[in-house]
Structure 1
């Protein structure tokens, strides 16, 4: 079997997990790793018997790779990805593809101009329940969506935030829960419900000693007049994983990776306009949604990119679609910070000015010793 040669850029965190996962993907062969920490990259390279680099440009130019996984801190995703694509090397970027919409624009533009495969690690899309939900929406089973809601919360301890100097800082991460934990949920939310046109939000730091938000709530307005709501935080135990999409023909609920769908006998507006029943409402029946057993997770996205390069298989998570979640993240952060309604597309120059101001105020953080554990995502 022909294999795609992969390099991983950034192996001090998620990248090392991706290296381990890749050992079980027959279409992928790890051939090189890169990290600015010489000790870390040497250790990973020796573990897998591959070439080590400390400069991403040298890895990309080495002739050893057909594709790279970019698993560096967020700010470095755009320059590394753009450099790789311009050299004809396929890219799988960790989420989010960029901190700012301007950075994401450059990545999308380069992908379109070069035609080089570009994917983003939104592995939730690969799950059976997400694919089933997307099929319902695409087939028009909900009809026009008039309300979309998302409540997805997590718990992170202060020890988690203290574990690295870049965590939860404007200079190191570019935001808090919105840029780190929530992107997978925000990608699914916009993949199914579309991108809003107006955002009004409240962002704040509630439970942790950090300089970025650990909680965000937003009211959303969509181009068709639909209304939406989202809430995310790292303050809740147990966390909540809930999305709801209400359409003229039915209602879709995603709760803890399960899918529920109610189909209406008569569309909402049609029933409202034609019924003579004072207290009547459209009859709804719950419909069981078949969920396909399929490979999911990080490995599924890696395999999919390899098959895209080898056979032209459609990308599950195209990098160009990664722009949508960045638009929403930037809009929510900017609205909360400025106390005003923000329109989408976000003003690129305004957000660049904002993020530079926040980075300038960012303070060096004390790192404390914590018990280190493997990210549960890589234990599967």
Structure 2
């Protein structure tokens, strides 16, 4: 079987997850890594057992790289994606795709121009119990949707930001609690509830010495007439598992930490066939999250290349959560409702 070759841009902690997934997939092989730090080359080569480059052009000239995983700072995703696309490589980017709509639109255009696939890792869509929730809503089992809520009330210690100075900056993180930590659950909320028509947000920095927010809340109106809320933070000790709540006229389903904790749908007992996978939550420790959903995203990216179809979360789909988050920031800055 011919394997799909992977290159990875970045050598931060998330790279370990990507390497683990690639090594476990029969159709994938890790070819090379790129790091902007020449001091990291030797240690990364020993750790991952492949060639490591500090020259982007040399890295992208590796002919056996088919897909580039972009795992550097969020605000640097765009330049890395465009460079890979121009070299004819398909791209799978860590979330968020970029930190502004302008940058996202630019990378979508470049990937379309060079006819390469663009995917984004929003791996919680692959959680078996979220899929169960999504299918129930998609099949109309909850009836008319009334309300959807996302709560990402997490905690990060001071060291989380001090040890990685790009975190919490507007330039490279695009914000903080909502854009970095909250984007996953916000993506799920939008995926199940549909598009947002307006937001009223309030974000503040109350504890951490960062530019972005460490607490925030927002009120949402959805295009289908439903309403919703988002709360989030990285200063909410000790950190609680993220929650997703969906209410319809025929019932409600509530998730916590990737698990369904309430299933109350009229005339529809909960199916019993969902695989029992240990998902974990990043409520207080970002390393506690399982790699299994990342693995499904990477497998989907491989399949999208082999079958010449769009990835599960392509550029326009990944754009949606960033549009809502940046609109919440704008609403908070201007103290007004923002219409999308």
**TM-score normalised by length of structure 2:** 0.88
For residue 157 of structure 1, what is the aligned residue in structure 2?
157
| 1:338 has 2:325 as partner | no
Please give the secondary structure, in 1, of the residue aligned with 2:125: helix
> 1:11, CA displacement in angstroms?
1.1
For residues 2 and 233 of structure 1, the distance between their equivalents in structure 2, rounded to whole angstroms, comes to 44
On the 8 A contact 1:215/1:235 being kept in 2, the answer is yes
CA 1:143–1:106: 2 relative to 1, 3 Å? farther
Find 1:292's aligned residue among 265, 269, 274: 274
On the 8 A contact 2:117/2:310 being kept in 1, the answer is no
For residues 314 and 110 of structure 1, the distance between their equivalents in structure 2, rounded to whole angstroms, comes to 16
CA 1:227–1:15: 2 relative to 1, 3 Å? same
For residue 246 of structure 1, what is the aligned residue in structure 2?
247
Query: Per-residue CA shift, 1:166-196, capped at 9, x if unaligned?
Result: 1212233221111111111111111111221
For residues 12 and 337 of structure 1, the distance between their equivalents in structure 2, rounded to whole angstroms, comes to 32
> 1:115, CA displacement in angstroms?
4.1
**TM-score normalised by length of structure 1:** 0.79
On the 8 A contact 2:124/2:188 being kept in 1, the answer is yes
For residue 262 of structure 1, what is the aligned residue in structure 2?
264
> 1:262, CA displacement in angstroms?
2.5
> 1:161, CA displacement in angstroms?
1.5
For residues 16 and 152 of structure 1, the distance between their equivalents in structure 2, rounded to whole angstroms, comes to 24
Greater shift, 77-86 or 179-188, is seen at: 77-86
> 1:220, CA displacement in angstroms?
0.7
CA 1:197–1:303: 2 relative to 1, 3 Å? same
Once the two structures are superposed, the pairs formed by residues 1-380 of structure 1 within 5 Å of their partners are: 1-236=1-236, 237-259=238-260, 260-264=262-266, 287-293=269-275, 296-312=292-308, 315-344=311-340
> 1:232, CA displacement in angstroms?
0.6
Please give the secondary structure, in 2, of the residue aligned with 1:178: helix
Mind listing any 5+ residue stretches in structure 1 that lack a counterpart? 265-284, 345-380
Structure number with bigger Rg: 1
On the 8 A contact 2:10/2:33 being kept in 1, the answer is yes
Greater shift, 2-11 or 111-120, is seen at: 111-120
Mind listing any 5+ residue stretches in structure 2 that lack a counterpart? 278-290
On the 8 A contact 2:21/2:298 being kept in 1, the answer is no
What is the root-mean-square deviation of aligned Cα atoms in Å?
2.1
> 1:84, CA displacement in angstroms?
2.0
